[in-house]
Amino acid sequence: MLGAIIGDIVGSRFEFNNTSEFDFELFTEECDFTDDTICTVAVADAILNGKTYRDATLEWCRRYPCPMGSYGGSFARWIRSSNPQPYGSFGNGSAMRVSAIGWLFNTREEVMEQAKRSAEITHNHPEGLKGAQAVALSVFMGRGGVAKHDILDEMRRFYPAFDEPRLGMNSFNETCQGTLPICLGIIERANSFEEAIRYAIAVGGDSDTIGAIVGAIAEAIWGVPEEIARTALTYLPHDIRTVYDDFCKAVVIKKD
Ligand SMILES: [Mg+2]
């Protein structure tokens, strides 16, 4: 979950101002958390505090109506609606928010089912559901110590061809099916959490969301370096930090 938040914060200043540099500064004053962090926290809050995914997502997004980078158009309408209904989306929003599910549920079946439920409040298109399930399952497998190679073999059943990460060559694409193949290609290429995050930004495109998805999976595989974790947490307001702290306690309890 923190991996997704880190990727979001690091990518925030590049979403509409891409870079193809690999050695950019990870954290600057221009960085902030965006919708990817807010929605990720909402999913964690739902699980930890017994809310529906729909209610928690509405609660958090309405509390933060104007994050850096703002919400996608259809999602913004969903947030403001008096009767929010799924709208058949296959946007990458279902995949960027799902990581806590891979940490907080303990069987593959539960992870797949909960990922579907978290997605279908808005992203009830088959590609929207698939994107959420692919990320949640990758996190679940990585957390369980499954080798990267085996996680990626499993992911080829979802996305048979990954995209090669080439700096500055990825075009802006907000769909699950346009985003997951590059994210998985980055995981395949990278050898550490930080390297994965740098690729996620430097390929270009929807930087904060690619950062969030890659960061979520990379955390489960490699863990997060302490210095990066510490710096990222300084960007979070108190209420988001509280959910993150509760999440950490729940994950530790599960490990014991
Ligand atoms: Mg965003």
* Ion ligand 1: residues, Cβ under 5 Å: 34-36, 69, 208
Give the distance (Å) from ligand 1 centre to CA of residue 76: 12
Give the distance (Å) from ligand 1 centre to CA of residue 244: 18
The structural domains of the chain, with segments of one domain joined by +, span 2-21+31-251
Give the distance (Å) from ligand 1 centre to CA of residue 194: 19
pLDDT at 252: 79
Positions in the chain whose pLDDT score sits under 70: 253-256
Give the distance (Å) from ligand 1 centre to CA of residue 50: 26
Give the distance (Å) from ligand 1 centre to CA of residue 103: 22
pLDDT at 121: 98
pLDDT at 254: 58
Write phi, then psi, for 130 (nearest 5 degrees): -60, -40
Helices 35-49, 238-255: axis angle to 10 degrees equals 50
Give 178-234 pLDDT, tens digit per residue. 999 999 999 999 999 999 999 999 999 999 999 999 999 999 999 999 999 999 999
Q: What is the 3-state secondary structure (H, E, C) of the chain?
A: CHHHHHHHHHHHCCCCCCCCCCCCCCCCCCCCCEHHHHHHHHHHHHHHHCCCHHHHHHHHHHHCCCCECCCCHHHHHHHHCCCCCCCCCCECHHHHCCHHHHHHCCCHHHHHHHHHHHHHCCCCCHHHHHHHHHHHHHHHHHHCCCCHHHHHHHHCCCCCCCCCCCCCCCCCCCEHHHHHHHHHHHHHHCCCHHHHHHHHHHCCCCHHHHHHHHHHHHHHHHCCCHHHHHHHHCCCCHHHHHHHHHHHHHHHHHHC
Q: Tell the CATH topology of 2-21+31-251.
A: ADP-ribosylglycohydrolase fold (1.10.4080)
215 and 31 Cβ atoms separated by less than 8 Å: no
Give the distance (Å) from ligand 1 centre to CA of residue 34: 5
Give the distance (Å) from ligand 1 centre to CA of residue 253: 30
pLDDT at 118: 98
Name the residue type at position 26: L
